[in-house]
Each structure stands twice: as structure tokens, then as C-alpha cells.
Structure 1
Amino acid sequence: MITKSWLYDAIIYIYALSLLFYFADFASPNREAKRIGTGLLSFVWGLQTVYLVYNLMSHKSLFAFSVFETLFMLSWVLVTASLIINRIFRIELFVFLVNLIGFSVLALNFFSNPGVSPTLGSWKINDELLFIHISLAICSYAAFAVAAVFSGMHLYLHRRLKGKKWTSSVKRLPSLEKTDRYAYVSVIVGAPLLMLGLALGVVWIVLEGDYRLLFDPKVINSWVVLAAYLFYLFQRLALQTPGNKLAKWNLAAFVIVLINFAVSNVSQFHRWG
């Protein structure tokens, strides 16, 4: 039986990457993104299948399953169902949401298994889960920072062009269409990463058994950040909001991200240092 968590970490990261491509395809239909997302998800399914078959073959009784194996099978069934449904109906949002549940179940399953030892000897298995949670959250914040920069450039360029102030700095900036597009793509990257990071954060709280942390100021504010960026996507995709208004909302959402860092000082388990 596999007892080192490096394989589990690899599956979690590949799983997260596949969901990132699926979310990108949902937000902005892209055949290449969908193809890559499907390929990565199929690879995750293959690894899960091999692991599942290996465990079933080592069973003395086919009717005695541990909680670990039951949850693993649940995650495997969710991945299998999403791949089949995506093949037949091509509903990207459904695939993403179903696999967000499967991703959370798989993470809870992996990191609650007492028989698994961390990759680093000085860590506990929960530390490894926390590391993945933090790495996904940091990547999402980096994407939001990039989006904020492009939105700032968009507003600056919009005001200059509206006032017919043609300067050398204006000529060196990308077009309004490109700055709006780049900000949008950055949010498409950041939103699912934050969603996955929050899912792992909830899993970590469940494993710790202290459900009061669900109401921690940093946790609540993180959900507010996610809601702000999802509303940005809703405005762009459903309401067709103009680029300059989207840019203002994007900058306002990034202010909430900055507040999220300040909230760390009053958080029970996100405190700096």
C-alpha cells in the first residue's frame, strides 16, 4: 500500500489544474482549454483507477471497506460520471462543480488517512494539506494582483483617450480591449484557484475538528473575496457590463483582497509569524 503522500499531492495538484482549465473554458469557451482539462482529469481518473484496483485486489473480502476506501470510491465515481456526462452533454459548469465536490472529498480522504506519512519527515500530514491550501491561495492572490494592474491601466487609458490626451505613456500601453481582456483572463485564473484553496481550507478545519474556525474573520472575508470576483465574472458574462465599470469593480475587489491580509492580524490561525 502507498504510504507516502507525494503521490496524493501530485493527484491533488493535477486535479486542481484540470478544474482550472474547465473553469476557463466555461468562462470563455476555448476548445484547447477544454481538451487540456479533460486530458488532465482523465489522467487523475487513471491514477485513481489503478489505486482503486490495487486496493480491491489486496482485499480479503469484497464486502469490507474502510471509510478511506469508501470516500475514495465516491471521488472516483464523481470523476467517472463527470467525464461521461461531459462527453455526452458538454456541460462545463456541471463538470466543474461536480469535480469541486470530488476534489474536496479526495482531499479529505487522503489527508485523514492515518496510514499516510508526510513527504517531509518534520511535517504532520495536516501540515502538507495546509501547504497546498496556502500555495493555491497565494497563486490566486497573485492572479488578482495582475488583474488589478491591468484594470488600473484600463482606467488610466480610458480617461486619457476620453480627454484626448495623447502622450507617450498612452502610446506605450496596450489597447483598451487588451487591458480588459488580460484582466478578465487573470480573474478566470484566480477565481477557481481561490475556490479550490478555500475547499482545502474547509477540509483542514474538518480534520482539525474545530468548527469555530469556519467563522474566523479571515475565512469569512475570503468568501467575500471569492463572491466579489464571481460577481465580476457575472457582470461580464451575463450583464455585458462596459469595460471601464468592470475595471472599477475589479479594483474594488482587490481592495477586499488587501483587507484580507489586514484581517490576518485578528485571525485565530492566519496570524502572520
Structure 2
Amino acid sequence: MVEMKWLYEFIVFIYCLSLIGYFIDFIQTNRKVNRVAFWLLSTVWGLQTLFLLSQMLWHSEFPIADLYDGLYFYTWILVTFSLIINRLFRVDFFIFFTNVFAFFLMILHIFTTAYSDGTEQSMRLVSDLLVTHITLAIISYGFFTLSYVFSVMYLLQYRLLKEKKWNKRLLRLGDLGQLDTLAYIVIVLGTPLLLIANILGVIWGYTSTDEFYMIDVKTLGSFTVLVIYLIYLALRVVKGYQGRVMAVFNMFAFLFLLVNYFLFGSLSNFHF
């Protein structure tokens, strides 16, 4: 079970990196990142395939005997088909959206299998995934905080330029275009981490024995934060908004993030 635990965790880690890569390519159309994401996803497929073959060889059965094993095979099918279709037709967005759903099924399989097993090692696996959920959420909040700082610097620089206050502080704040770009880039990095963290959190909530409420102020707040930053990216990428308007939007987004973290966290039934 220890070996299986590490295999699961390694697959999830590689899968996360692949989804982050596809998300970045989805937002910025970066072919190098797309290729890296493709090979990471191919690695996930290879590890999943080895697991399936080992189950067939060691247990002399195809691992679809119950719902839990079926979820794993379902995930393997989605990864396999998405890789083949992407390779044949180069539909990059298809592989990204398909594997967001496949990743959800993969995590659901891990949690449900662990709780049905009931062993100490299985429960530790679930605990590790919960820690991963919290860690990824906090890291994403760190990225959003950096973006907020860049936006504040942008607005300060913008105001100094508008008022024609030329001084050394103006030079040390940085270029407006650079600050705007950096604020955008760190949001691109933080958003997929928050998406993955939310997926892990919801699956843990529904499969654990601990108290969990989907209609909870912190849970809803976390998804609202994700939606707000997705709106930011949509306005930036689809509508082409830049500069001051996006800096102001980013500041309000971060303020809601703080409300969610501190106020909603204290009002939640189970979050800290």
C-alpha cells in the first residue's frame, strides 16, 4: 500500500503540472508549454497503464470490478482518447477541458478507494491529499497577493505620471507595461492552482467522514474567488482589456479574496 500511495501521489503531481501547463497555453497560446504539458500528460498515461497492467498480472483480473476501480479506468480512457485526438487533430483546448474532468475523476477514485479500504496507509493518503488541497490554495493566494502588489504599484505609477511628479520613486516603481504584464502573469499561474485546490477540497469533503457542507460560506467564497479571477483572465484575453481598468479590477478581486480568507473562514462550519 505504501508503494501504491507514492504512485498515486506522483501521478497526481504530474497531472497537476500538466493541467497547469495546458491552462497557461489556453490563456497565452504558448507552444513550448503546450509540448511540455503534452509529455507530462503522456507520463500520466504511462503510469496509469502500468498500474492497469500490474493489476491484471498480479490479481488476474481487469480492474473494473467495482465503482472505485471503474473510476480509474474511466480516467485512463479519457486520458488515452484526449491524447490520441489531440495528436491526430491538434485540438488543444479539447485536451485541456477533457483532462480537467478526468483529473476530477482521478482524485475521486483515490479518495473513495482509500476510504473503502479503511487501512492506516489509506487514511494517510487521504490526509496527504487534504494537505495538498490546502497547500495549493495558499500558494495560489500567494500569487494573487503578488498580482495585487503589482497592480498597486501600477496605479501609483499611473497617478505620478498623470500628475507629472517626476522623481526617483517614479523610476524605482518600474515601467507601466511591465507592471501590468507581471500582474497578469502571476494570475495565470495562480488560477489553475486554485482550480485544482477547489477540486481536491470538494472531493475530500464528500468522501471523508468529517463534517462537510457544500453550501458553506467559505466553500462558496472559494469558488467565487476562482470565478472572479477567471473573469479577469477573460476580460484580459478575450476583450483585450489592459492597464488601469484591470489594475482596479484586480484590487477589488484581492479584497474579496481577503474577505473570503479571514471573514468567511471564521464563519465557516468546518474551515479554519
Return the TM-score normalized by structure 2: 0.91
CA distance in 2, matches of 1:21, 1:213: 31
Distance 1:80 1:158, change over 3 A: same
Aligned-partner residue type, residue 146 of structure 2: V
Query: Who is 1:98 aligned against?
Result: 98
How much has 1:64 moved relative to structure 2?
6.2
Match of 1:49 in 2: 49
1:90-138 Cα offsets, whole Å, 9 max, x none, are 333322221111111111111222448566x9x6443222111111111
What amino acid is the match of 1:267?
S
How far does the alpha carbon of each residue in 1:44-89 deviate from its partner, in whole angstroms, 9 at most, with x for none?
1111111111112234344962323211111111111221222233
- Give 2:181's aligned residue: 181
Name structure 1 gaps, 5 residues minimum.
Answer: none
Does the 8 Å contact 2:191/2:226 carry over to 1? yes
Letter in 2 for 1:184: Y
Distance 1:158 1:206, change over 3 A: same
Quote the residue 1:232 is aligned against: 232
Amino acid at match of 2:265: S
Question: Are positions 1:88 and 2:88 aligned together?
Answer: yes
3-state SS of paired residue (2:213)? helix
Tell me the CA shift for residue 184 of structure 1.
0.7
Q: 1:179 and 1:118, CA in 2 relative to 1: closer, same or farther beyond 3 A?
A: farther
C-alpha distance in 1 between matches for 2:95 and 2:209: 30
How far, CA to CA, are the matches of 1:178 and 1:76 in structure 2?
42
State the superposition RMSD in angstroms.
Answer: 2.2
1:269 paired to 2:240: no
Q: Distance in 1 between matches of 2:5 and 2:256?
A: 34
Alignment partner of 1:5 is 2:1? no
Check conservation: 1:136, 1:193, Cα contact below 8 A. Answer: yes
Letter in 1 for 2:128: E
Note the 1:200-215 alignment, pairs <5 A.
200-208=200-208, 213-215=213-215
Name the % identity. 38
Instruction: Specify every segment of 5 or more residues in structure 2 that has no aligned partner in the other structure, as ranges.
Output: none
Paired residues of 2:64 and 2:73 also in contact (CA < 8 A): no
Q: Which amino acid in structure 2 is aligned with residue 54 of structure 1?
A: S
Q: Is the 8 Å Cα contact of residues 5 and 118 (structure 1) preserved in structure 2? A: no
